[in-house]
Amino acid sequence: MTECERLGVHCTNEPSEEALDNFWKIAARIAMRYAKEELQREREMKQEA
pLDDT for the residue numbered 35: 97
Would 2 be classed as within a structural domain?
A: no
Name the residue range of residue 27's domain.
Answer: 15-48
pLDDT for the residue numbered 37: 97
Would 38 be classed as within a structural domain?
A: yes
pLDDT for the residue numbered 1: 72
pLDDT for the residue numbered 5: 79
Would 37 be classed as within a structural domain?
A: yes
Count of the separate structural domains present in the chain: 1
pTM, full prediction: 0.56
Classified as helix, coil or strand, 1 is: coil
List of the chain residues with pLDDT < 70: none
pLDDT for the residue numbered 2: 76
